[in-house]
Amino acid sequence: MYPTDHMRDMPAGASGQRPNILFVMADDHAANAIGAYGAHLSPVAPTDNIDRIAREGARLDNCFCTNAICTPSRASILTGEYGHRNGVRTLHDEIDPDREHLAHWLGDAGYDTAIVGKWHLHTDPAGFDHYEVLPGQGRYEDPTLREKGSETPTTREGYSTDVITDRALDWLGDRPGEDPFFLACHFKAPHEPWAYADRYEDLFEGVRIPEPSTLFEDKSHRSGATRERGSTLSPRNPIRNMVDQVGSEDWPTGAIDTSGTDDEERTRAAYQKHLADYLRTVAAIDDNVGRLLDYLDEAGIAEDTLVVYTSDQGMFLGEHDHIDKRWMYEEPLRMPLLARYPREIAPDSFVDGLLANVDFAPTLLDYAGVDVPDAVQGRSFRGHLSGDPPDDWREAVYYRYWMHRAHHDVPAHYGIRTRRYKLVFFYGLPLDAA
Ligand code: CA
């Protein structure tokens, strides 16, 4: 059943109110690069504003994407369906512009809806009252945005994360009515090419960024499908590795010298440069999350607004000598997820239930008091957030990556992850002897 107009006046849930929804999504933001997750990077790269969402709400530790690349994960978030059902399996698949998704359903229920920032589902965003989206991946500096109702894109001066937040705040400030809002604020950062804002030029001056314990791990025990595949931090993979990337003239913030013969030293130098630039782009996200939270406070609507912070998938930052994402390893598989809604979520909560990106749409619909359409495959985790998870919750999450070897030398694979185990089947490549 689809929501109808009469739901506009219906109260939702125990709080008796339908919350505003501020859905903030970064691009390739690893949980290891968020202070609230307490990983090895947190001492040198705090994220105080992002962490505030967890401090005043919940940190969710086991939320996983169903395909660790941008376009498919975004489609699953909007539709609540896995890629084999919504048709978005690869970076090249577009979302069917005629199909309904979360924005339509919330809009039909009386929400004011907008998306600002990265879209990356190829067709123009449907179902939103307003959109201002980057074409494709967009640019870090002076980004161009395609705006609903405008024939030509507009170039906005400034740094993309600041500009996206400016535009999101403008839309919030200009909203016409008393209806609740659903605002999807999607940053480009910290996706490559990691061009940071000028104000962070000196952020890691004199700082040695801690390395992950698995940077130089022995991979001899791995299967043939994984042992020598995938883009690496070290020069191990000649097709794509970070030593070559940061030594290239194309590196946006200036190449470093990675010449020399000692691969360990070259790898360590590449790690420092890669992480410094990545974390500088994260610093600007943190600033801007602070601006969004401040706005909610100043507008007096923080209590009435569900704030979600997540990323379309995680990211390797040198763990297992990998960079990039795509694999069903923990670092790309895990989506950071923080949520604040003071009326229902206790401060400093932790959720460890097995969640997936297909659960986002039904969860937000649940908060909005909207019946979840039958086609949605995920389930609402609102109960997890309020400390009362359902007894019959799933015991495994499913994953599938379809793009074998496409530009990062990763085999296609699918698998399941339970609390303790992971079973992965790699296919699509002639496998070396195991
Ligand atoms: Ca992404």
pLDDT of residue 12: 42
- Token pair recorded at residue 418: 């339970």
Dihedral Cα 186, 189, 190, 192, nearest 10 deg: 120
108 CA → ligand 1 middle, Å:
29
Hey, which residues does 426 pair with through a beta bridge?
413
How far apart (Å, rounded) are the C-alpha atoms in residues 160 and 139?
7
**b/e sequence 23-40, b meaning 16+ C-beta within 10 Å:** bbbbbbbbbbbbbbbebe
- Å from CA of 131 to ligand 1 middle: 19
Phi, psi at 77, each rounded to 5°:
-65, -45
Which one, of 346, 361, 200, lies nearest residue 280 by Cα?
200
CB 270 within 8 A of CB 259: no
For strands 112-117 and 397-401, give the pairing. Answer: unpaired
Q: Do the Cβ atoms of 335 and 64 come closer than 8 Å?
A: yes
Q: Which of 14, 55, 13, 11 is nearest to 307 (CA)?
A: 55
What is the whole-number distance in angstroms between the Cα of residue 23 and the centre of ligand 1?
16
Q: Tell me the CA–centroid distance for residue 392 and ligand 1, in Å.
A: 31
CA angle 68, 404, 354 (to 5 degrees): 30
Interval between CA 69 and ligand 1 midpoint (Å): 5
pLDDT at 4: 40
How far, in Å, CA of 417 to CA of 313, rounded?
16
pLDDT of residue 27: 98
Gap from CA of 86 to ligand 1 centroid (Å): 18
CB-hemisphere CA count at 13 Å for 352? 3
Helix axes 360-368, 70-79, angle to 10 degrees: 30
- The pLDDT assigned to 11 comes to 38
| Tens of pLDDT, residue by residue, the chain (434 residues) | 333 433 434 434 434 589 999 999 999 999 999 999 999 999 999 999 999 999 999 999 999 999 999 999 999 999 999 999 999 999 999 999 999 999 999 999 999 999 999 999 989 999 999 999 999 999 999 999 999 999 999 999 999 999 999 999 999 999 877 899 999 999 999 999 999 999 999 999 999 999 999 999 999 999 888 888 899 999 999 889 999 999 999 999 999 999 888 999 999 999 999 999 999 999 999 999 999 999 999 999 999 999 999 999 999 999 999 999 999 999 999 999 999 999 999 999 999 999 999 999 999 999 999 999 999 999 999 999 999 999 999 999 999 999 876 678 899 999 999 999 999 999 876 544 33
How far does residue 308's CA lie from ligand 1's centre (Å)?
A: 17
Q: Quick one: CA dihedral 204, 208, 213, 216, positive or negative? A: positive
Q: What is the pLDDT of residue 14?
A: 39
Distance 194 CA to ligand 1 centre (A): 13
| CA 5 to centroid of ligand 1, rounded, Å | 35
Q: Using the structure block, give the residue that is written with the tokens 């690069």.
A: 33
Task: Give the burial class of 391: count Cβ atoms within 10 A of its Cβ; 0-12 exposed, 13-18 middle, 19 or more buried.
Answer: exposed
Looking at residue 300, the DSSP 8-state letter turns out to be T
**Which residue type occupies 116?**
V
| Sign for the pseudo-dihedral over CA of 106, 112, 117, 120 | positive
- Residue 2: the pLDDT is 36
